[in-house]
Amino acid sequence: MFGLKSKQIKDGVLNHWFASADNFTLSPQEFYDSAEKEIGALKVPGLEISRKEFAEGGLLSNKRVYLRFIRERLAFDVCAAQFGTRYFFSCRTVYSPAVVKIWHILVVALLFSAIFYGLEQLLGVKLAALALLGLIVGIIYLFRNLLAMGLDDVDASLLKIPAVGPIYERIFRKDSYYRQDTRLMYLDTIPAIIEKLADDVTASKGCKLIREFQTAPILGELYKPLPPRQQDEKK
């Protein structure tokens, strides 16, 4: 759906920005609060913000809290943490593809079977079949035109429903220029703010932020990475 290669879909992480600072200390919660406040003020449509715990190692290892921004199936997992006398910031762009599984289809089939059984008891076999067909056609029409009808909240809710969500997204949910543009806007906005905040908090304490590693997001052949921004080259 995004033109991603199978390897990228399997890996999940599209982009990983990482930077560090020497002799610097900061409460991760303080950085997360600042990022949450600044990004929340932008009122990005459909954006959800949360704190998520990831294990530092194996099953019984300590948990590390990350700040997560998620919109549709694209999430940013942000980490700020001490590492000895050094400090690091990271921001991963994570894509969770919509995968239609056999059990999804079975659940939907059972649901329609139950509806047909109920209609049959009331209307008989022939009328029940016609009513069910009309219901299916109506659902397909609704699914294909939710955004055109201004039902953004219904669209967002459907994406979260188990079984129904993946089928709706992969088969019925239309992509568009606007969705592609807003997706790219989202991909550009969140990391840019995280990087600026990391720059600002380190500079405020007289430390220099060192950008060490960065992989570029690749959304198919149409979206090739650009060279670093001019302001980054001067630093």
- Domains defined for the chain, CATH in brackets: 6-97+189-234 (3.30.70), 102-172 (no CATH)
The pLDDT value recorded for residue 1 is 37
Percent of the chain with pLDDT over 90: 40
What are 70-126's pLDDT values in tens digits?
Answer: 998 899 999 999 999 999 999 999 988 878 888 888 988 999 999 999 998 889 989
The pLDDT value recorded for residue 214 is 52
Q: How many CB atoms lie within 10 A of CB 24?
A: 18
The pLDDT value recorded for residue 233 is 47
Of residues 58 and 70, which shows the higher confidence score? 70
Of residues 155 and 1, which shows the higher confidence score? 155
The partner residues of 216 in beta bridges, in order of sequence, read none
CA distances from 32 to 2, 27, 50, 138 (A): 29, 9, 10, 44
Region 206-230 average pLDDT: 59
Alpha helices, DSSP H, located in 124-217: 125-144, 152-160, 164-167, 177-204
The answer, as to whether pTM is greater than 0.75, is no
The pLDDT value recorded for residue 34 is 95
pLDDT-derived band of residue 58, with 50, 70 and 90 as boundaries?
low
Region 130-138 average pLDDT: 92
Which two tokens mark 181?
């543009």
What are 9-21's pLDDT values in tens digits?
Answer: 344 888 889 999 9
Residue 168's identity, in one-letter code, is: Y
User: Residue 190's closest CA among 96, 95, 91, 94?
Assistant: 91
Question: Mean pLDDT across the chain, nearest whole number?
Answer: 82
pLDDT-derived band of residue 213, with 50, 70 and 90 as boundaries?
low
Give the strand order in the sheet containing 74-83.
Answer: 48-55, 63-71, 74-83, 86-95, 13-22, 210-214
Quick one: which H or E segment has residue 114? helix 102-123
Of residues 39 and 222, which shows the higher confidence score? 39
Residue 218 reports pLDDT greater than 50: no
Residue 222 reports pLDDT greater than 80: no
**DSSP state string for 59-82:** TTSPEEEEEEEEETTEEEEEEEEE
Of residues 168 and 154, which shows the higher confidence score? 168
Q: What crossing angle do the helices spanning 125-144 and 102-123 adopt, rounded to 10°?
A: 130
User: Residue 16's closest CA among 86, 88, 97, 83?
Assistant: 88
The partner residues of 76 in beta bridges, in order of sequence, read 69, 93
pLDDT-derived band of residue 7, with 50, 70 and 90 as boundaries?
very low
What are 148-167's pLDDT values in tens digits?
Answer: 776 777 777 887 788 888 88
Quick one: which H or E segment has residue 15? strand 13-22
